[in-house]
Structure 1
């Protein structure tokens, strides 16, 4: 056998299908895993790079099945306030940014949390106090709402007489005047006045995001929105194409093209033409999926529910959220998209949205559809018990954002009091899905929340937030907890499957691409609460080093 290019020696290895890690060496030759087993010293040659993995854990590279890297990277380069500790801190950060960028026509960015503000709704007046008479538009961290200044409202001509769009809501004061918060599709009312996105900014944002994702051991992902209301046209897709053409795209990426909420059957042909125009290396970049946003989020009462929302006194209202697609039209669109060869990526957060997405897939199956499809439903905050077995029956993956599956302020303060208790009891039913045979994939939804897979995996296993008091009750109880092996498999092999790369990524197997991440310790060896104390030492894509932990000052002396 030829000498190895890379040889990981003395460590432990975990891959899908294993109950836990095993001691093993791993050899890499020509960008692929060439041997796995004990004592592979016979593969050492003059050109072999040897990596001492003693005390460490080698994993397949993490694959984030639902993430928005270009958007996240652009926000990192704009007014990014996710590090704030509350409303006052966020406003101070915005004020400092505005002062440091006096010539910017708009203050743009995002990352603020709804729980920082009463009812989750900040005001234009508060923003005006730090930006003056400048237009400003800042997405909240879940990107289902936009906080805007008075100048932005004036430029967009949003007034008391402006009607709410069908897919959103303008937050208003007691007199009916816009108060500074635009929910869901109402944010699109700014489209005509927002400055165009600079292509260089999107490219720099993508590369900044890629570097951050590699630092967390992520070697591939599915970008969950190419086009649509957070993209300017298809600028995000163009950024990927430019990066791939220049040899700067080091991850393996699947892009999900946005299905407009006003889509018709003619839209399917347009999306297919856009996909087919991509001339990138398909092992590196493909636009083979379509994103269908079924509903909004529970915090602003736009998630589509089977039960009505509650008011502040616990009484049922007449509101059940918004279905962005009429169910019968959705069935026709799903059938047409399948026929065009697309995999479907549903945003389905409320239980009614989950049902309607599964109904559309079932209708496609009864009509002769459902080929070798890689459909997935993401978020799954609430799932009806009778819908749980339908995932396996329809071959649809459950794409989990497990960092959300715990009691934390946004959930406890802005969701729990306003949702029927029987729906709260069905929150993020990961354990039920596994027992019903559903395939799990996993993602972060970054920049909504952290892109660190190990943080999400810890919550998937414990169902407790990182700041919860000792002895806190896991959300949903122990029955909804995943094992560490199940959570790691979702973030590797499960996500490889939805990206159609499961035959050569997502596992440590001979012949597979050497997309690998090395942790500084074995999280199987410690308590579940310490899973995310492990750190990524290095990340490789196709055997190429794309991230290495910076040397500490003491180690360089």
Structure 2
């Protein structure tokens, strides 16, 4: 549908990544209102330019669809930015210093809450309560780890929760202990929930402010839509963000489009299905389905490898290289998982699995297979996130079952958390199965991408660099898992745009630069397709556009009116 009248905005002077394949060259993109109305050769743009047309001279930059994050916790991340934020800590001493500074700056807060500490900054990945006691002895402190699978508490918080040496580990977690069995200060997985009855619950107003703060940051990274991986529930220190989203929709402050994944209580039963379907329909009836929908369910199949709760086919090893009796935790019984997924699929719900270990991946795929066998093909677009370890035999099952591989590519590189806390405790040969993106692609899997922010940076371009190179900038190491697990740049870009749009059921009007689609686009400079692979991290977002309007502009230099 080529426009035959002047457009409101014309992007010209740079390549256009349309959402798949190689970028178009010598083409311009015209926008009228909130839609793309023309994708034409540059020599055909004369009739598109009128006296009021804003011409965006890309000057060699790349125009691409807005990024979509297929697995993120934006409200929790935004709240952490407003609380005691440890995500920028350089080491353990820096983390403790930041806690001390925050406590001093906020003397009236009854609890010190926040998060973002890195496990690799502490011996064994487990910070001690004494470190917090030294700087905040008189108030309880409770801080989530960067990956939100562990919590760090001081003595005051531990005492308020009534925890001592007699407290057994919960079925879905583990307490790090001192020699006499007393809690040492770190609480993994479900053990962090032992503080739920005494820890303050975040207010709806705080969640709303966190959402707006997160949206501002994410838009600056070129993100125009996302799937929130924990809605209508509370876990891992994250308060239910639903009220914040509804307020933002009602007040017109939610600029992006959001798919909310309703939280499946792993200790609950199949009676959750009817409640979730009812909430999906209730939110849809409010009439803002294109802005906020709740047709997805998040199921935590396992934990994470660095605290040895990821569900593995083989046992973890101890520090001496000997097999242990621990192969991780399946949070949901596999038979219950299959029944739940089958019912959800039949009800038209999408399932979003957290599946990190190879046993968890297999259990999730088995559940999708059971649903397919019972219900036949569906448009559920079920997807498995994280995929740190995938058995070779299971990589090809994604395409067979029409299951999407949801990649957190920023993790697919050698760094301390994987080199010190993970690989030494896995079986020989496990490194070759870490984040096997290449195997998944060659097996025909459809790919989507996300960040899991605030677990790690939300920057899609930083993740794309690692998806392509498997080596983080500044690290002198071989590609994690081998060079054959790399993705080419076009595939990585597609995963973060059209792939995530597909997962989000928004591929009908987003994820592509295509006539008739929403003008949700991003300008990237320098054009990453002109850079060497090891220079991809130099690319950055210059501007983000939603519905044809610039909502973030790093510099006005590339925006001009026609001469």
The bucket for the TM-score relative to the shorter chain is over 0.9
The aligned residue for residue 74 of structure 2 is 69
Residue in structure 2 matched with residue 83 of structure 1 by the alignment: 88
| TM alignment of 1:5-404, pairs within 5 A | 5-39=8-42, 40-226=45-231, 227-230=233-236, 234=240, 236-278=241-283, 279-404=286-411
Deviations 1:423-444 (A, max 9, x none): 3221111011111100000001
For the Cα contact (< 8 Å) 1:538–1:549, is it kept in 2? yes
Match of 1:458 in 2: 465
Residues in 2 aligned to 1:232 and 1:398: alpha-carbon distance in whole angstroms: 24
1:39-90 CA distance string (max 9 Å, x none):
3121112221111112110000000101110000000000001111000011
Distance 2:227 2:238 in 1: 19
The 1:30–1:20 alpha-carbon spacing in structure 2 relative to 1, beyond 3 Å, is closer
In structure 2, distance between residues paired with 1:228 and 1:385: 34
CA-to-aligned-CA distance 1:112-143 (integer Å, 9 cap, x gap): 10010000000111111111121010001000
Question: Structure 1's 491 and 232: CA in aligned 2 closer, same or farther, altered over 3 A?
Answer: closer
Does residue 433 of the first structure (1) align with residue 436 of the second (2)? no
Q: Deviations over 1:390-416 (max 9, x none)?
A: 100111100000110011111000001
Q: Secondary structure at the match of 1:12?
A: coil
SS of residue matched to 2:433: coil
The answer on 1:475 being equivalent to 2:480 is: yes
Q: How many residues align?
A: 549
> Could you tell me how far apart the structure 2 residues matched to 1:150 and 1:10 are?
60
2:547 aligned residue: 542
Q: Does 1:3 align with 2:10?
A: no
- Any conservation in 2 of the 1:12–1:58 contact (CA below 8 Å)? yes
Give 1:421's aligned residue. Answer: 428
Residue deviations 1:249-286 (CA, integer Å, cap 9, x gap): 00111010000011211111111122222125111111
Q: Which runs of 5+ in 2 are unaligned?
A: 558-563
Q: Which aligned segments of 4 or more residues in structure 1 are displaced greater than 6 angstroms?
A: none
From the superposition, tell whether residues 550 and 525 of structure 1 become closer, same or farther in structure 2 (CA, over 3 Å).
closer
> What is the CA distance between 1:18 and its match in structure 2?
2.1
Quote the Cα distance in structure 2 between the aligned partners of 1:551 and 1:508: 22
- Please give the alpha-carbon distance, in whole angstroms, between the structure 1 residues aligned to 2:170 and 2:125: 20
Q: Would you say the 8 A contact 1:323–1:353 is kept in 2?
A: yes
Aligned to 1:533: 538
Moved more, 193-202 or 91-100: 193-202
1:467 offset after TM fit, Å? 2.5
Q: Distance in 2 between matches of 1:345 and 1:232?
A: 17
1: CA distance, partners of 2:320 / 2:377: 45
Q: For the residues of structure 2 that align with 1:121 and 1:160, how far apart are their CA atoms?
A: 17
Unaligned runs of 5+ in 1: 553-557
Deviation at 1:466, TM superposition (A): 1.8
Q: Is residue 445 of structure 2 the alignment partner of residue 442 of structure 1?
A: no
3-state SS of the aligned residue for 2:492? helix
* Distance of aligned partners of 1:280 and 1:101 in 2 relative to their CA distance in 1, 3 Å threshold: farther
Native 8 Å contact 1:108 1:136 kept in 2: yes
In the alignment, the residues of structure 2 paired with residue 325 and residue 85 of structure 1 have an alpha-carbon distance, to the nearest angstrom, of 36
TM-score by length of 2: 0.96
